[in-house]
A = this chain, B = another copy of it.
Amino acid sequence: MSDSLPKHIRKFITIDDDELTNALTFFRPISLRKKENLLVEGEICKSNYFVVSGCLRMFFVNEKGVEQTVQFALENWWLADYTSFSAQKPAAFSIQAVEKSEVLAIDFAANETLLAQHPCLERYFRLVHQRAHAAAQYRMKYHYDHSREELYHEFARLFPEFVQRIPQYLLASYLGFTPEYLSEIRSRKLS
């Protein structure tokens, strides 16, 4: 198993070696090929996923049958449909690997046991969710504050390597517009 999760945990809390080692036994490694699914809309989101390497995306299919990407998760990010995971009820989203990926999964029940046995991890997950909450507030601000075209330029400025890494139609989907329009924006910028 990679050591990226223990390293990530220690960025947020202090925890001794024995307890950390034991905690890690609750996680299950999963290897994914490109486009392989971890969760399909309508199923129950059984696990919370930590990305060791690669990239996941969460999406849903809208009324017109088009896939709308709502979130990406790169290395060291957690991802799940938390409404589904928390209540163990059907998910509104699907989760899929954008590229070949390694993730660590923790099931709902294992998660409860883990936190009961190692209460110090409550703090870790509190900080992880608080950070995600903060990020969601900023993300809403970006959407309110910018036109679609500006969203693209902002995103490309903030995450230039990521823009290279993923296909354009996924980026367009994430930013909330059509691949055709993204194509137009890009050609405009070149001239």
Contact = CB atoms under 8 A, between A and B. Distances in A.
A131 B137 CA distance: 14
A162 B145 CA distance: 25
A186 interface: no
Interface in A60-85: 60, 62-63, 68, 70-71, 81-83
A132 interface: yes
Contacts of A7: none
Contact of A93 (B81, B120, B137): B137
A33 interface: no
Given A62-B145, A119-B123, A123-B115, A140 B82 contact: no
For chain A, the bracket of interface size reads 35 or more
- Copy number in the complex reads 2
Contacts of A143: 143, 176
Contact of A125 (B60, B81, B92, B126): B126
Given A68-B144, A122-B123, A140-B70, A130 B176 contact: no
A130 to B, nearest CB: 5
Interface in A133-164: 133-134, 136-141, 143-145
Given A58-B137, A132-B133, 7 more contacts: A70-B144, A71-B137, A71-B140, A81-B134, A86-B130, A119-B123, A129-B129
